Amino acid sequence: MNPQEEQEQMEQQMYLQNLQSQMDREQSNLIQREQRMNQEGLGMIKEQLDLTVELTLIEHLLRGEEKYYNEATGEIDWKKPEDKDIRILSDLGIKFVINTLNFYLNKNTLLSNYDEKTINAKMEDFSNSLNDALFMSYEKYFLQPTREELYSKIKQKIST
């Protein structure tokens, strides 16, 4: 081989090495992008399956609390009801409802492919079961007025 052919062969080898390096970098970048997309997809799925926000909202509503803007902290907070008649469930009743919701709302039901008829049947079953359980132990699950509250209401009715 003459020196010019050797030079051309070395240039071709360098060119092929550069191409191989470039392809390796592209493949590495592609793998990293796919991994990021998979992680973002998993994060989105986990977020969709997480019902913490909804269950917290339901708990506040069962307590009769109202949302308000706290100017001191700049956040949305909850305040206890001023009218005690708004709240009808005891703390035990609220926990019972939240626990029952946690039992029914899980990833199997959220990821299911139920038709509307099946969903309505399951909702009817849930509401009947919850209603029956609350009714059978209403003394524990519902707030009962104290003697003082009853006395003041009777006195108020007599005076009007």
Please state, in angstroms and as integers, the Cα–Cα distance from residue 39 to each residue in 36, 45, 86, 99, 108, following that order: 5, 10, 44, 30, 21
Residue pLDDT, tens place only, 73-126: 888 888 888 887 788 899 999 999 999 998 888 878 888 888 999 999 999 999
- Judgement on whether residues 59 and 115 belong to the same structural domain of the protein: yes
- Judgement on whether residues 130 and 77 belong to the same structural domain of the protein: yes
Phi–psi pair at 31, nearest 5 degrees: -60, -45
Domain with 123, as residue range(s), is 50-159
**Tokens representing residue 89 in the block:** 């469930």
Number of structural domains found in the chain? 2
- Judgement on whether residues 82 and 131 belong to the same structural domain of the protein: yes
Residue pLDDT, tens place only, 3-32: 777 787 888 888 788 888 888 888 888 888
**pTM listed for this prediction:** 0.63
